[in-house]
Amino acid sequence: MSSAAPKTELPSSSVSPLRGYVLIFIAVTFWGGSASLAKYLFASNPKIETLIISQTRSTFSFFLLACYFALMERSVFRIERRDIGKFAVLGVLGIAVTNFAYYFTVQESTVATAILIQYTAPVLVMLYSVAVSREEQIQGIKVLSLILALSGCYLAVSGGPAAEIRLSGWVLVSGIASSVCFAFLLIASKRILRRYSTWTMLVYSFGFAGVFWLFVNPPWKIAAAEYSMSDWGILWLFAIVSILIPHSLFTTSLKTLEASTAGIASTLEPVIAIVIAYFALGEVLQGIQMIGAVAVVAAVVLLQIAPRRFLKFARR
C-alpha cells in the first residue's frame, strides 16, 4: 500500500460501448446459471447454506486474485490511504451484503423472487444519478429501456402468474437489501473506477468482504461444519463461476457504460437463466416468458442503437 497517488485510468471516449454490452452479456450468462445452481446445492447438500456460499465466493476470489497479482503485477495493490474506507464499504455492502441477501432470498423463496427484486436496482441507480449526484441526464430512450427491461424481467422470471413471486417475513427484508446494495455496488464501483483499475477495485473489495465474513463466520465455526473435500471443491468452483469471472467482466464494462445503463443491460440475466433451464434442464418455456425475453433484449438493443442514431441526427 502506498500513499502516493495511484495511476488514474479514465474511460476512453474512443472505446465503443458495444464492448461493455458484450462483457455484460457474458457476465450475466454466468450469473444466470449460478442462481439455479445455488438453489440445487441448497436442496442437495444441507451443509451448504447461504452463509458459507457468500463467504467463500468473495474469500476464494480474493485469494486467487491476490496470489496472481502478488506474482505478476504488485502495482495493483497500491492505493491511497484515504480510499481504504471506500474500498471497505464497497466490499462489505456492495459484495458481502448483496451476495448474502440475494442468496438468502433464493434459499428461502424462489429464484424468480430473488432475481426480480434485485433487478429493481436500475431504478434506484437512475433516480440517484439524475436527481442526487446529477452525474447523468434523464433521457426518454433510457426511461423507455428501463420500463421495457423491468416489464420483460417480470414476465420472464414469473411466467405470468404472481404466485411465483413469494414475499414474506425476512425474504422481504433480504430482497430489498439485495436491490439497494446492488444499486450501491453499481454507483460506488463507477466512482472508484475513475481513479483505479478494475483489478485494484476487485482485489480490495473482495478482500474486505472476506475479512467481514471472518467476523461473522470465523474459521473454527467453519471447521466444526466438517465439510468434505468434494464440498470444498464445489465451493471453489462456485466461487469462480458465480462471482470471480462474471464480476470481473461486469466491473470492466463499467469503464465504458454509465451505471444506470449497465444496470438495465444486466436485466438480461433472467433471460439467460430461463434459456439455460430450457436447454440444460428441459424446463418448459412459456409464451409469456418468451415475450418477456424479447422485451428485455429490445431494451438492451434500444440502449445500444438509439444513442448512435441521436448523434448522427445531431451532427446534421
Give a yes or no: residue 11 inside a domain: no
- Give the 3-state secondary structure of residue 291: helix
Vertex 299, ends 297 and 305: CA angle to 5°? 100
Q: How far apart are CA 126 and CA 261, in angstroms?
A: 9
Give a yes or no: residue 45 inside a domain: yes
Give a yes or no: residue 267 inside a domain: yes
pTM of the model: 0.83
Which pLDDT does position 82 carry in this prediction?
94
Specify the number of domains making up the chain: 1
| CA 213 to chain CA centroid, nearest Å | 19
Query: Tens digit of pLDDT for each residue in 199-238?
Result: 999 999 999 999 999 999 999 999 998 999 999 999 999 9
Task: State the distance between the two ends of the chain, measured CA to CA, in whole angstroms.
Answer: 51
Give a yes or no: residue 8 inside a domain: no
Range 137-157 burial, b when 16+ CB lie within 10 A, else e: eebeebeebbebbbebbbbbb
Other CB atoms within a 10 A radius of the CB of residue 59 amount to: 21
Give a yes or no: residue 12 inside a domain: no
67-81, 145-159, 269-283, range with the lowest pLDDT: 269-283
Q: How far apart are CA 45 and CA 56, in angstroms?
A: 16
Region 144-161: what's the mean pLDDT? 77
Vertex 39, ends 35 and 43: CA angle to 5°? 170
Comparing CA positions, the residue from 184, 274, 252, 294 lying closest to residue 24 is 252
Give a yes or no: residue 257 inside a domain: yes
Query: Tens digit of pLDDT for each residue in 258-313?
Result: 888 888 888 888 788 777 767 765 666 677 778 888 888 888 888 777 655 444 44
228 φ/ψ angles, rounded to the nearest 5 degrees: -80, 170
Give a yes or no: residue 7 inside a domain: no
Q: How far apart are CA 228 and CA 76, in angstroms?
A: 34
The H-or-E segment that residue 86 falls in is: helix 84-89
Cell of 82: 484515504
Domain limits for position 83: 17-315
Give a yes or no: residue 6 inside a domain: no
Residue 60 pLDDT > 50, yes or no?
yes
Which pLDDT does position 209 carry in this prediction?
97
What residue type is 19 in one-letter code?
Answer: R
